[in-house]
Structure 1
C-alpha cells in the first residue's frame, strides 16, 4: 500500500514539528497531514473505505486538499477545506469541529428565526387527521425530546388507540438518541425484534476517548459513565487494532418489546426522505420489522454503519477531528451508508413545501382505502 498509513503518520510528525507555522495555510496543512494516518489507525470505517475506493483515490484527494489548505487565508477557510477532505472518506459521522472540546460538546444553539418568525420546534407533535388516521410529526430524536415523546403518547393514548392508521413523519429527522423513539416501538412492533449490535475498535486513542466522553457530554450522568466504562472494559479484552463486541454476549440479540399497548395501529406508514439519518435510520431498521409498517418516500441519508463519535485534537489545537469508534455488526453484509435505507414504496422528491404537505394527504388517502396518486383519481 503506497503510501501506507505509517508514511502518512510520519508526515503528521513532521507537520507537528512546525506547530508555530507562520501562516493560516501552513497551520492548515499541518492539521490536514495529521488526519489520514489517525483515521486509518483509529476510525472504524477508514480501512474499509480505503479498500473500497483504492489508494489512488485517497492520494489524489490528499494532494487536492493540500493545495487548497496551503492557500487557506484564515481558520474558517481551513475548516471548510478539512471538512471537505474528511467527506471524501465518509459522508456522515466524520467531521472537523473548530474550537475546544468543551465548546464542541455544548448543545448547538437554535437556528435563528427567518423574517422575525419563531424558530421551528423540533419537538414531536400529533394531529388527528380523521376518525381513522393520526399523524405524528417527528422532526428529531434528540435526547432532549425524549420526555416530550413519552408525554405525547401518554396524553393522547385514547385517541391513538381509536385510530387504526398512523402516519409517522420522520422526514428531515437528523437523528439523536434511540431512547427517544423507544416508546413508539411499544405501539408499532409486532412483538419480537432482532437487534444487530456493534463492535468497538480497540486503540489507545479510542480508549482515551471513551474515558473522557462523559466529562464532556454528560458530567455526573451515571448511565453515561456505565456505558463508557463497559466500552473500555470490552476494548481491553482484545489487542490494539482489533474489534470487540459492545456487549459480552455477542452482537445479535432477539428482544421482546416491553410494555406493548393492547390496541395497536393496524397500518403504519413512515414517511422518510434523504435527511433521515443516524438514529432516525436505526428507527427505520427497528420499525420495518413490524408486520404492520411500510416505509414510504425516498432513501434515507446513509450515516449509520460507523458511530459513537469521539474527538481527537489536531496539531494546531484550534480544531478537532470527530470520528467513529464503533461499527455495526451488520457489516459487510448489510451496509446502510452506501445508499441509505430504501423505502418499500418510492415517491419522487416534492418540488416545494406544498408538495411535502401533499405527501401526507396522499398517504392518508391510501391508508383509508384510496390511492397514492397526486390527483386522487
Structure 2
C-alpha cells in the first residue's frame, strides 16, 4: 500500500545511507535514461558527488534531510523525471484524477476574434474537463477565428489528457518518435502497480498491453507500440475536426515540461500553430516515471522507464523546445499576464503571419 511520509518524520543516518545506496544501485539497473547511456557504473564526476553526499549522512535527522542530501547526486544524472521523494507517485496520480484548483482548465473570450484556453496540467482529470468545455463551446472556443492555448506552468501528466485539444486545431498530421521501454523485473512490477491503482479504464487497458509486451520479452528494450514502429502518425481528418481557427498561439515557458512538451512538440508541426514564450523545461527523452519504495519504507525512488533515442541534435532533455517567437522571461506577474495580450495582438494585428 502506498503512502506519503511526513518530511519532518525522524530518519536515522543509517536509514538514509541504506536508502541512498539502494537508490544508486536501483537506478543503474532500472532507469531508462541511465540504461540509454550504457552506464555500468556512474561516471567519475557523478560518483564523486555521490560519495561526497554520503559523507554528510551523519547530520541526517529527518526525511527532509535525507531528500536534500541525495538531491545533488540525482541532479547530476539529469534535471527531471528522477527523484527521491516522501510522496508516493501512485498517490499523486490518484490525486490528479479529481479536479482541483491547480488542475482546473479555464477559458476566456478575449475578443470577438480570439478565445483563450489555459491548461495548467495534463493530470488525469484534464481530459474530461476539456471534453466538457468543448461540448459546451465555452467562451466560443469552437468558433473563434484565433485561439490561444496557454501551456505555461504545465508540468505534464498523461499524454492522453491532451487528446481533445488536437481537434481544435483543424486538419493536420502529427508525427511522433515512439519511446522505448526498458524492461526489467522491477519495471514490470512498477507498471503492474500503476495498473492496479489507477481508476481510468482506458489507461488500464493501455498499461495491460504494455505489461504483456514486457513480460513476453523479459529484459532489454521494446517500443511501447504494438507494431514496434519507431515513428507514429496521428491524423486529424475533416470528420474529426471540431474547430478551424485561422491561427493558434501556444504559450510556453520554462515550467512547461514532460507531457506538456510532448504536446508542444506535436502541435508545432501544424502550420497554423505558432509557439511563443521561452524554452520549455527539457524533460521528455527519459520519461514515463514510475516508483520503487526504499528499504526504510519512508521514501520512494521516482525514475524513468522509457527513453526516446532521438537523432543527434534533436534531444530535449536538459535543453527544452525553443519557441517560434521568443519573449523575454517575465520579471513580474504583470509581465507574465501581458504575454497573453502579446499573443492576442500578434494574432489580431500582425499581417502575413
* Aligned-pair CA distance for 1:285: 1.1
Which residue does 1:68 correspond to in 2? 56
Which residue does 2:308 correspond to in 1? 328
Structure 1, unpaired ranges of 5+:
1-21, 111-118, 372-377
* Aligned-pair CA distance for 1:103: 5.2
Does residue 234 (structure 1) correspond to residue 222 (structure 2)? The answer is no
Answer yes or no: is the 8 Å Cα contact 1:305–1:331 preserved in 2.
no
Deviates more, 1:119-128 or 1:334-343: 119-128
1:322 partner SS: strand
Does residue 213 (structure 1) correspond to residue 194 (structure 2)? The answer is yes
Answer yes or no: is the 8 Å Cα contact 2:285–2:307 preserved in 1.
yes
User: Judging changes above 3 Å, is the alpha-carbon distance between structure 1 residues 256 and 65 closer, same or farther for their aligned structure 2 residues?
Assistant: same
* Aligned-pair CA distance for 1:192: 1.6
Name the CA distance, whole Å, in 1 between partners of 2:318 and 2:158: 22
Which residue does 1:38 correspond to in 2? 26
1:235 partner SS: helix
* Aligned-pair CA distance for 1:189: 4.6
Q: Map 1:75-224 to 2 at 5 A.
A: 75-98=63-86, 106-107=94-95, 120-156=101-137, 159-218=140-199, 221-224=200-203
Q: Map 1:10-49 to 2 at 5 A.
A: 24-48=12-36
Answer yes or no: is the 8 Å Cα contact 1:142–1:175 preserved in 2.
yes
Name the CA distance, whole Å, in 1 between partners of 2:242 and 2:127: 22
Does residue 58 (structure 1) correspond to residue 24 (structure 2)? The answer is no
Does residue 290 (structure 1) correspond to residue 278 (structure 2)? The answer is no
Name the CA distance, whole Å, in 1 between partners of 2:134 and 2:286: 31
Match of 2:225 among 247, 268, 287: 247
Q: How many residues align?
A: 338
Instruction: State the TM-score, normalizing by the size of structure 1.
Output: 0.81
Kindly indicate whether structure 1 or structure 2 has the higher relative contact order, using CA contacts under 8 Å at least 6 residues apart: 2
Instruction: State the TM-score, normalizing by the size of structure 2.
Output: 0.86
Match of 2:298 among 318, 324, 328: 318
User: Judging changes above 3 Å, is the alpha-carbon distance between structure 1 residues 356 and 74 closer, same or farther for their aligned structure 2 residues?
Assistant: same
Name the CA distance, whole Å, in 1 between partners of 2:311 and 2:23: 24
Name the CA distance, whole Å, in 2 between partners of 1:333 and 1:184: 28
Which residue does 2:320 correspond to in 1? 340
Runs of 4+ residues over 6 Å off in structure 1? none
* Aligned-pair CA distance for 1:105: 5.6
Match of 1:265 among 231, 245, 249: 245
Q: Compute the RMSD of aligned alpha carbons.
A: 2.8
Deviations 1:8-66 (A, max 9, x none): xxxxxxxxxxxxxx971121111111122211111000144576x97111111111221
Q: Map 1:350-369 to 2 at 5 A.
A: 350-369=330-349
